[in-house]
Structure 1
């Protein structure tokens, strides 16, 4: 039998290794930023074009490299961070595997310019698909500039699997923010397609958080600090009233390295137990310092997962520290048996002396006397009892006036729970009758404030009011976005909302679709979103709910432009505006919802492919009683 096992060529092995390190442009950004930090840079600039597909360039003022080091940095398993296997258990740097630059150079065009401090000239190297094209001396500032162009130029299949520019840009921004948050003592800047996205000067941790997520974040933060023998905790948690339904603002850093840990996240959630609104998630920026020998950061290719020696101790410390901070700043109720704040002396009376109150008793007071007794020392006044005879004459003539045409108007209690205006009819006249027979005007009933029961010829239909209303609103919004004939209501005063740069980028991507539903946008810059008009189907107070739900639905992926984007927008708005289970509906609203549902093109399923109604025939009922 002939031998069939062969060694892979170097360029093929490099491309396979690159698949673990370089998954998308954001992977390149992460590796290059970490290299710049390890080089001791005090200022780092990131330049991106076409979300990193065309260009990713990192410029830093770090140590720089000699011509030999510059050439060696692109070799596989070449690193300056570790020398022995024991160094893997005492890591204090970002990159240590020696695969990043080699993997990037295997799937892109790379141009490197670097000069160490003290050298008169630097080194310029160009590589295409692991092949060195040129290496020459050049004039360049101290530090390193590395440009990655045409990512995956030699692997078309990988390039075709990349998402749209908006999706890839959001991943790049996420990696940039994680690195910037971990190092507030380094100045960062980011540019995309020659437009500035971030300009972050050096500062403390709180200043860096506010610079990234907007000025309104300052009032939302609660400091967290604790130091023990095995763990040091610093950072901030966001007050419960400002929590969101998205996971966006959840950051764990261990030894200045961003990590993901469901176990530690559960500890934070447990500390917020009973404080968060329904379905809201805690937001936090927490920095943990532990002994490098007690963690293993080499268990995942992206180094975002870490294994701790004693996770249970970290869980308990983190949970108790956050609980203490929430109680210390009066965010959570605290039981303190040493003092009662209600017994504290008010500020106005703190410096006043104690005066014994004087009590005077009127000993001449007789409660059974018709004329009140005068106070001591006062003369008894002449008191005349009012004459109340003939009080019946006050109402004489009232009956005759009422019969003459005057009426008495009583206030009527306002009916709540009406989704629709009185007398509003759907385009289809009782479509349910066309499919299931006739019904009376009062033949709809609400069950458990969640289901609508209606009679049909063959039995009855039970409708989930939330899912049914989702289907009605979904088709309405989809029609408005497609036809672009929505109606807007102008706001007397513009509505100003604050969002992070990432969230505003998502809103910009969907701006056209939102405008087709009836939104009118004003200024969108920095962290400010100004809204001048809203759809007629929603109120001003519902606008933040609609946008937050939209951002929550787009948390994982932003759909490409086209129908999928429109579909996501319509689904999200329908989900946030649909009547919820537990709301009482009057007969008009129930009738209108039933008729509107069966006027839809797909009345049987909700936008999320769930049943909107079920039918129970007479035969089904007969079988129940056998």
Structure 2
């Protein structure tokens, strides 16, 4: 009995495979350009007709091929780039699989004219459906001329899926850009419908960007990283509200790739500097050892598996942030003019991230030219004795703020992280909402421990723990009871009947997971209680990213200044700082 399943014909198999590599005319141009670069060409002429649907021709002065290699070049899996499986993980050329020309030969009318320096004559091959239809000896200079005519001419179904000529030409230009950005030591001439579009000579990266994107007025800053055999260079755009859409290119070992992880790292370096991240332009060149790359993950080699991508991404993101900060740098000589009210003890190394984080989210204050780099300000502030030394918050200052809260305060939230308001229309206070609430909870539970009001749960929460966790939690159950957590242990389950006030059920998992990480010591009740107190304060507090209403912000600020120690968290990190009126007067002085 004859079944339904059968083998495909070789012709169908080849056309399916060709379709994975050649999607449109731009795919053809990319493959031909890569072959010319691998052949060490120094001059490349490109001729396009009808957006590549009729003709894509490339002429180069590279090494060329002898007659034997020319006839082998369009055979599937015929390549000079690799010999064994290990070579796949040491790729240093643009092509390596031997699929490009064979795929092109199957879906177009292909002509190859080529000659190398050792050959006395060249060869002109006419190829259709992957077979040589005609060959002519040819007297020519060293190099290669490849003409791809009538793409998909025998596959109407594929040809009809091509987009309009305008769209296909944009795809061609985009592939051209990727090559000429990476390989700037080559002279390119690009013609479309007999009209020269580009004439690019050997140049620098910045000049190449200006040449092809016609944006000499655009403000770019260079980035440079060299660390642990990882080399990164390129340009990133400085925020500009007049730009509607940016140009974004990541090139790894001179090959343009789509890398979502790295792209996200790059654009999120602009968080707080720019609202419309699509307006960002970047041209990032990454060079790593070839054994850290696997190119054999995408038919068109547009994606790559990159080891240490998290390390590389973080390095690039931090460098871009540094570049952006540098654009708004305050000069040291101006630093001493600023009048800022905060405690000098807050300037420990581990606290700088707090200030950087806040000002990382500021776009502009009034005038773009006067936007300043607060990071640099705080790094150098400790050097200016006249500003910080011996200047501490006083009880009078605290009283002044507390009195202000008796009336309605206008305040706003920035980036769902900071609460900002003006004191008497003069000084400006900036509060970290997470640290503020953490401090409020810490003092609340510290003072009211053993006298806390517990919330009885309508239905007890049933928790199944590992045997070790079960006995561990049972050991500190009396400590937990001091904070309002009432537990009942039965078999392998733990039942939670009540929780302390100010604690929501949605944070219980985080609190208990953190508590179980601590090493509680038998008999050390106070130390054990402190560990529980820290866990509750940390995980029950308002998180960064939480949107607060005006009433909630005002309540939070009032509660903060009702604390005995409103300035620092229990770990010594600053909760707020104050910018005095003179600070802004000096910055915006005309």
- Superposition TM-score, scaled by structure 1 size: 0.52
**Matched ranges for 1:324-473 at <5 A:** 324-330=322-328, 333-336=373-376, 337=378, 339=380
Partner of residue 147, structure 1: 147
Say if 2:222 and 2:235, in contact at 8 Å, map to a contact too: yes
Partner of residue 366, structure 2: none
For residues 128 and 292 of structure 1, the distance between their equivalents in structure 2, rounded to whole angstroms, comes to: 36
Compared CA separation, residues 271 and 17, structure 1 to 2 (3 A): same
Say if 1:220 and 1:242, in contact at 8 Å, map to a contact too: no
For residues 34 and 328 of structure 1, the distance between their equivalents in structure 2, rounded to whole angstroms, comes to: 38
Partner of residue 252, structure 1: 250
- Tell me the alpha carbon deviations over residues 451-489 of structure 1, each in whole angstroms, 9 at most, x when there is no partner: xxxxxxxxxxxxxxxxxxxxxxxxxxxxxxxxxxxxxxx
Partner of residue 227, structure 1: 226
Per the TM alignment, residue 281 of structure 1 is displaced from its structure 2 partner at its CA by 3.1
Classify the secondary structure of the residue corresponding to 2:141. Answer: coil
For residues 243 and 259 of structure 2, the distance between their equivalents in structure 1, rounded to whole angstroms, comes to: 19
Say if 1:114 and 1:123, in contact at 8 Å, map to a contact too: yes
**Matched ranges for 1:133-144 at <5 A:** 133-144=133-144
Per the TM alignment, residue 175 of structure 1 is displaced from its structure 2 partner at its CA by 0.4
Partner of residue 21, structure 1: 21
Compared CA separation, residues 72 and 5, structure 1 to 2 (3 A): farther
Classify the secondary structure of the residue corresponding to 1:271. Answer: helix
Classify the secondary structure of the residue corresponding to 1:20. Answer: helix
Say if 2:18 and 2:104, in contact at 8 Å, map to a contact too: yes
**Matched ranges for 1:261-276 at <5 A:** 261-276=259-274
Per the TM alignment, residue 102 of structure 1 is displaced from its structure 2 partner at its CA by 0.6
Partner of residue 237, structure 1: 236
Compared CA separation, residues 342 and 173, structure 1 to 2 (3 A): farther
Whether 1:204 and 2:204 are equivalent positions in the alignment is: yes
Classify the secondary structure of the residue corresponding to 2:199. Answer: strand
Compared CA separation, residues 279 and 227, structure 1 to 2 (3 A): closer
Compared CA separation, residues 298 and 245, structure 1 to 2 (3 A): farther
- Tell me the alpha carbon deviations over residues 222-276 of structure 1, each in whole angstroms, 9 at most, x when there is no partner: 0110100142110000111167343x50000000000111211111122112111
Say if 2:252 and 2:286, in contact at 8 Å, map to a contact too: yes
Root mean square deviation, CA, Å:
2.1
- Superposition TM-score, scaled by structure 2 size: 0.55
Whether 1:9 and 2:13 are equivalent positions in the alignment is: no
Compared CA separation, residues 333 and 119, structure 1 to 2 (3 A): same
Compared CA separation, residues 6 and 221, structure 1 to 2 (3 A): same
Per the TM alignment, residue 5 of structure 1 is displaced from its structure 2 partner at its CA by 5.6
For residues 278 and 99 of structure 2, the distance between their equivalents in structure 1, rounded to whole angstroms, comes to: 40
Partner of residue 184, structure 2: 184
Per the TM alignment, residue 278 of structure 1 is displaced from its structure 2 partner at its CA by 4.2
**Matched ranges for 1:525-544 at <5 A:** none
Say if 1:223 and 1:236, in contact at 8 Å, map to a contact too: yes
Partner of residue 321, structure 2: 323
Partner of residue 55, structure 1: 55
Per the TM alignment, residue 330 of structure 1 is displaced from its structure 2 partner at its CA by 3.5
Classify the secondary structure of the residue corresponding to 2:240. Answer: helix
Per the TM alignment, residue 280 of structure 1 is displaced from its structure 2 partner at its CA by 4.6
Partner of residue 305, structure 1: 303
Compared CA separation, residues 278 and 24, structure 1 to 2 (3 A): closer
Partner of residue 474, structure 2: none
Per the TM alignment, residue 103 of structure 1 is displaced from its structure 2 partner at its CA by 0.7
* Aligned mate of 1:281, from 274, 279, 282: 279
Say if 1:245 and 1:279, in contact at 8 Å, map to a contact too: no
Say if 1:240 and 1:277, in contact at 8 Å, map to a contact too: no
Partner of residue 478, structure 1: none
Q: Which runs of 5+ in 2 are unaligned?
A: 330-371, 385-590
Say if 2:295 and 2:305, in contact at 8 Å, map to a contact too: yes
- Tell me the alpha carbon deviations over residues 484-510 of structure 1, each in whole angstroms, 9 at most, x when there is no partner: xxxxxxxxxxxxxxxxxxxxxxxxxxx
Per the TM alignment, residue 129 of structure 1 is displaced from its structure 2 partner at its CA by 1.5
Classify the secondary structure of the residue corresponding to 1:45. Answer: strand
For residues 47 and 330 of structure 1, the distance between their equivalents in structure 2, rounded to whole angstroms, comes to: 46
For residues 140 and 162 of structure 2, the distance between their equivalents in structure 1, rounded to whole angstroms, comes to: 34
For residues 210 and 16 of structure 2, the distance between their equivalents in structure 1, rounded to whole angstroms, comes to: 40
Per the TM alignment, residue 146 of structure 1 is displaced from its structure 2 partner at its CA by 0.2
Partner of residue 32, structure 1: 32
Compared CA separation, residues 207 and 298, structure 1 to 2 (3 A): same
- Tell me the alpha carbon deviations over residues 48-88 of structure 1, each in whole angstroms, 9 at most, x when there is no partner: 00000000001111000000000000111000110000011
Per the TM alignment, residue 216 of structure 1 is displaced from its structure 2 partner at its CA by 1.8
Classify the secondary structure of the residue corresponding to 1:96. Answer: coil
Partner of residue 523, structure 1: none
Whether 1:110 and 2:110 are equivalent positions in the alignment is: yes
Compared CA separation, residues 36 and 240, structure 1 to 2 (3 A): same
